[in-house]
A and B are shown apart, each in its own frame.
Chain A
Amino acid sequence: MSQPIIKIENLSKLYRLGEVGTGTLSHDLNRWWKTKVLRREDPYTKIGSVNDRTQAAQKGEHVWALRDINLELQEGDVLGIIGKNGAGKSTLLKLLSQVTSPTTGRIRARGRMASLLEVGTGFHPEMTGRENIYMNGTIMGMRKKEITSKLDEIVEFSGIAKYLDTPVKRYSSGMTVRLGFAIAAHLEPEILVVDEVLAVGDAEFQKKAIGKMQDVSKSHGRTVLFVSHNMAAVKALCKSGMVLVNGSQRFEGNINDAIDFYQENNALVLAENNHWEFGNNAENDNIRVTSIKITPLNGTTLDISSGVQIEIDFYNKIKDITEDLTFEIVTKEDILVFHHGVVFAKDRDSKLGKHKITAVIPPDVLNANTYSMNLIFGQSQRYVLFSKERICAFEVENVAIGNNMSVMPGVVRPNITYTVNRNDQK
């Protein structure tokens, strides 16, 4: 095995949430005083807060947009980086592109590294296509004579030959993107870092662009890091994959396994009759969740006014501790509706064996939507014993208001009582 072409070690990036730019002088002085003079811990860094977007940000709080990423790539590897919005993909790309610097860790690479976080960086609308080819090419680290020698190819690939000496402001957006990609495609770097730039442009162009990237990686043995939401494109292009969840690296390996992992973690686990048997799929050394059953509290259909009864059967494997179960209900748009804890073993009296917890979400709380449930078993409300996100999913049906059949907007739909006092004057 030869030396990797890219080596990423313990890479992390800390971001500060909330307002940036006001009162920063006093913050900066405070921070400088505490860390540099008193040698204390940075007062504005709460180490350990993971990047979990479902929790509201506190002002001035810091989060790890990326945490301890390790990666090695060999020449010719094509890695797909997948993850939800906010998982840290763009941050990783920014670090690789040297647009911003990491908080900890190190990236080492060999050869020329070009990043395509956007196409057509530095395009000036007043300049002609030809001038912009040189502008954009040199920004990405090409030499002028290199561009001159590839000019014809670039023009041909982009299909803008007719407009080469027209200012770019007269171009359609599709033409601008095509030109931008054409320049980037002819960079010939040893390492190419590509963001979801392919999301723009028409289907034909996307196909052309993916073909070009395949060509770059296969026939020229270049290394490509590709970030995309488009699983089909990732699958077509990449050999290996990495899944990011809340800034951490959750999976790395074969691309098909990575996609499976990603989809499993994001899929809605719906079941007939809302009854799930887990066998030993939801088990660790502390807990085994055996089954979950979700039924309407009143009536036969699970709708807004029926209430939701959740029965969780599990097997407890630790005795004599204080134990609790927290469940979270998340909409399909990833909005946390609530987070509720149940202490089922107080004062260190947990017992081994079967347990059943029945919880009821009262009627007129959940709006009509599809919900997923996260389960977290904890000790003393402090340590996590077992957790599984999106363990199951269920649908709540709509209840019409009068003749209005449409679903009301909003996460919850409470039954609000009201009185009207009118003072009619004649």
Chain B
Amino acid sequence: MNAYNIDIKPKKHLLDINFKEIWFYRDLLYMFIKRSIITVYKQTILGPLWFIVQPLMTTAMYILVFGRIAQLSTDGLPQILFYMSGIVIWNYFSESFTTTAHTFNQNAQIFGKVYFPRLIMPLAEILSGLIKFFIQFSLFIAIYLYFYFSGNTSIQPNWTLALVPVYIGLMALIGLAAGLIFSSLTTKYRDLNHLLTFGVQLLMYATPVIYPVSTIPEKYKIFIQANPLTPILEGFKYAFLGAGHFSWDALGYSGGFTAVLLFFGLIIFHQTERSFIDTV
């Protein structure tokens, strides 16, 4: 007689993620990713083209408003590349953050009826976001290559291109961690939902997406650099464009911050998933 494999008890440990179980449910992860990709643009004319239209339009708008009207510096780089690189990676973060932040509230219906490792849901959001990111990223690369081969000397790609996957990973994980915390807290305190949308917007202006760090007056620099997203944005742009700033210290700071945030995110998510259906 084999032992009991299901054991339902009131108190679990602070953090025990059952990776084996998540692995067992990998097909579900795949299905959720598929669902979020194929359902978003069903019954639309442009379909997946919307993935590309959105960053293109945003870039055009930024060039007009920040580049032409406000005349913000881009460190001498072609504006389209400067803005687009910022938008593409920032979008991935904000997408990951906002979609995972709705994990509990938007899936209460499913969570109330059937059990599966709840972490599957935010993971699926992060991964489907990654697919969207790569579509937009390819667009950026295409434009980038056009500029590069047409002999634009201001672009100086360098060895830190090897770190690009790290930047993308960090963006995903910070988005995930912040989203986990948000989604857990919003099950009880709905106020946070109101904060979320404009909070992300404000955060974007506190992060060097549309301006380079070099334009920040010395006395404010410390605030911008305290933002753990800054080294990622700067590093990403530096790798492709060669302007800006790269340092291991800053990257280490971002990495450490991500690890701590993720640790707390997982704990609070884990604590919430056990009983949120009673409070939602």
Contact = CB atoms under 8 A, between A and B. Distances in A.
Interface in A107-124: 107-111, 113, 115, 117-118, 121-122, 124
Given A94-B277, A102-B10, A113-B6, A21 B188 contact: yes
B277 A107 contact: no
A109 B4 contact: yes
Nearest to B109: A121
Interface string A32-67: 000000000000000000000000000000000000
A99 B112 contact: yes
Interface stretch (A134-142, A306-314, A349-357, A373-381): A134-142
B42 interface: yes
B39 A98 contact: no
A83 to B, nearest CB: 20
Given A117-B113, A138-B27, A138-B28, A101 B10 contact: yes
Contacts of B24: 141
B221 to A, nearest CB: 36
Interface string B109-120: 011111110000
Nearest to A101: B274
Q: For chain B, which range describes its interface: under 10, 10 to 19, 20 to 34, or 35 or more residues?
A: 35 or more
Interface residues of A, number: 48
Contact of A134 (B7, B31, B114, B279): B31
Contacts of A25: 189
Nearest to A123: B110
A324 to B, nearest CB: 38
Interface string A1-35: 01100010000000110001100110010000000
Given A108-B7, A113-B6, A138-B25, A99 B38 contact: no
A260 B108 CA distance: 38
B279 A21 contact: yes
Contacts of B195: none
B27 A144 contact: yes
A370 interface: no
Contacts of A28: 188
A222 to B, nearest CB: 15
Given A21-B188, A144-B27, A102 B8 contact: yes
Contact of B110 (A107, A121, A126, A141): A121
B34 to A, nearest CB: 8
Interface string A316-344: 00000000000000000000000000000
Given A24-B188, A101-B275, A115-B114, A127 B35 contact: yes
B227 to A, nearest CB: 27
Contacts of B9: 101-102, 106
Of the listed residues B8, B28, B39, the one surrounded by the most CB atoms of chain A closer than 10 A to its CB is B8
B110 A124 contact: no
Given A124-B39, A139-B110, A143-B27, 14 more contacts: A21-B188, A21-B190, A24-B188, A24-B189, A96-B8, A98-B6, A98-B8, A98-B115, A99-B112, A99-B277, A101-B275, A108-B4, A111-B5, A144-B27
For the complex of A and B, the 3 pairs showing the least CB-CB separation, nearest first, are: A98-B115, A138-B28, A108-B4
Interface of A: 2-3, 7, 15-16, 20-21, 24-25, 28, 94-111, 113, 115, 117-118, 121-122, 124, 126-127, 131, 134-135, 138-144, 167
8 contacts: A24-B188, A109-B6, A118-B113, A126-B38, A127-B35, A127-B39, A139-B114, A141-B116
